[in-house]
Amino acid sequence: MKHALISIYEKMPYGLQNVASSAAGLRKRIIERNRQFFAFRESLLESQHLPTVRLQELQAHKLRQLVAHAYKNVPYYAQLFKERGLAPEDISSTADLQKLPLLDKSTVTNRMREFLARNTDRSKLIWNHTSGTTGRPFGLFVDRRVEDMWNALLFRHRSWGGYQYDRLRITFGGRVIVPFETKRPPFWRYNLPGRQVHFSSFHLSEENLPHYVKRLRTLGAEVMDGYPSAIHILARYMAQHGLQVPLKAVFVASEPLYDYQRAAMEAAFTCEVFNIYGLAERCASSGECEKHEGNHHHMEESIVEILDSEGNSVPDGQCGEIVGTSLVNYTMPLLRFRTGDLCAYQTKPCSCGRGLRLMTPVDTKKEDVILTPDGRYISPSVLTHPLKPLHGIEKTQIVQEDRCHFVVKLVQGDGRVSKHDLGELVNALQSLLGKEAKIEVDFVDDIPRTAAGKFRFVISKVPQDHVSSSIVK
């Protein structure tokens, strides 16, 4: 059904595509602008100013409520507590979480039904996909409450950059809003009810970038959001040609933000860049405030432990793995979920005065920007989308051997990937990378990490100076 709707959309003329985009935006707005969202928003705007110790007490209170619910309604935790001789009251603080084992993606995937709360309304479940940049597609169920909290957190984060809803914004995301075969502008579509203009992340070629800049100059938008690697391609082009489009703020997410990217964006758009870290699992998130001294942990949403390789807590200032516990997801609670991402709690509070604990920027997996055979620059996060529906896969990696040759490495899990799914994967990647791209699927026993222990989802062997001499630092 979804593929059929996409096919219909792609065949529509430009005007009707704008109507369809606006209709989708209106539906999204109606769903998201609900009473619960506004309640969360007001609460978060107040709680950010609480002292840290008060926020920690709030976390402990939410944790006790969640654990009592999980013990009563979630089969996995009922069994786990029984095996360990624990009662709900034994987990009453962050420190008590160490009585529970760490949780990984494979356990959740293999025992999905056991994590789903018995008392949840199955008709209101929302399926959330992760980006897949750890190499394995992953998803879980959440509910409207979880998404409303996340949207309220986004509102608060953007308010730190001076943004107000209903002001025009530009988005560089992963959605295909302009058909791939489009060769001439417009490379953007409108969401009028959401006061948003979606710019295509798939048409960022040297030939097309002047059209992007020209439209940006006439829009009068206040802010921009999206993938940092995609926005950086535009900012880098503008720097090379001495161009600027003043904005009030740029908000980036979904990928690591590097210093050279921030510098290029700030120069091109004459404003500050605000980074936010979040997960589809909704068990850990943080974001930059106007002081840019680190990321404030969104303590109202989750508990975050920073652990070493042995699973022990590390002191403030020392880097370790982020292990998150959602305080909001009652549909599929995740206690002590391993994210695979690295950061540290900072030893000093932020000078902004907020009580939300300060963390270092998150160190995730550095990826390569893809240069397609037809000259477009593709953000690595965009390439995760064709992999999201794929089941039965433990790890994935895309290797660009040369401008036209791409190898998709797959490590098969317990299930078997159907020929139909493989065909869909190849077709989706072909659409993204262009007709000249040769896509080869290779089943392998394992995909090694780098010497530093990192997993790289995308590797490009195309000389990086063909993409930009400033990309590799």
Residues 109 and 41 reside in one and the same domain: yes
The CA distance from 284 to 279, in Å, is 6
Ordered mean pLDDT values, 10 residues apiece, the chain (473 residues): 71 91 94 95 97 97 97 97 96 95 91 94 83 60 94 96 90 88 93 95 91 96 92 92 96 87 95 93 94 97 91 89 95 94 92 96 68 80 75 82 93 78 89 91 81 67 53 28
Residues 354 and 377 reside in one and the same domain: no
The CA distance from 271 to 260, in Å, is 15
Residues 40 and 151 reside in one and the same domain: yes
Q: Which of 359, 381, 398 is the last residue of a domain?
A: 359
Residues 282 and 392 reside in one and the same domain: no
The CA distance from 200 to 180, in Å, is 9
In a domain, 189, yes or no: no
pTM for the model: 0.80
The CA distance from 317 to 332, in Å, is 32
In a domain, 206, yes or no: no
Residues 148 and 286 reside in one and the same domain: yes
Question: Are 217 and 52 contacting, i.e. CB atoms less than 8 angstroms apart?
Answer: no
Residues 47 and 144 reside in one and the same domain: yes
In a domain, 293, yes or no: yes
Residues 306 and 342 reside in one and the same domain: yes
Residue 263: which residues within 8 A CB-CB, separation 6 or more? Answer: none
In a domain, 249, yes or no: no
DSSP lists the bridge partners of residue 440 as 407
Residues 305 and 404 reside in one and the same domain: no
In a domain, 56, yes or no: yes
Tokens of 35: 């009473």
Residues 440 and 297 reside in one and the same domain: no
The residue to which tokens 């490590």 are assigned: 411
Predicted confidence at residue 375, as pLDDT, reads 79
Nearest CA among 358, 362, 346 for reference residue 289? 358
In a domain, 392, yes or no: yes
Q: 257: burial class by Cβ within 10 Å (0-12, 13-18, 19+)?
A: buried
Tokens of 108: 């959740």
In a domain, 9, yes or no: no
Predicted confidence at residue 449, as pLDDT, reads 58
**How far is CA 361 from each of CA 42, 199, 218, 278, rounded to the nearest angstrom?**
26, 27, 34, 12
Tokens of 41: 């928003």
Total domains in the fold of the chain: 2
Q: Which of 359, 386, 419 is the last residue of a domain?
A: 359
CATH code of the domain covering residue 420: 3.30.300.30
In a domain, 55, yes or no: yes
Predicted confidence at residue 468, as pLDDT, reads 39
Residues 335 and 302 reside in one and the same domain: yes
CATH code of the domain covering residue 336: 3.40.50.12780
Residues 382 and 331 reside in one and the same domain: no
Strands (E) located in 169-291: 169-172, 188-191, 196-199, 204-205, 223-226, 249-252, 272-278, 285-288
Residues 66 and 149 reside in one and the same domain: yes
Q: Which of 307, 329, 359 is the last residue of a domain?
A: 359
Range of the domain at 376: 370-466
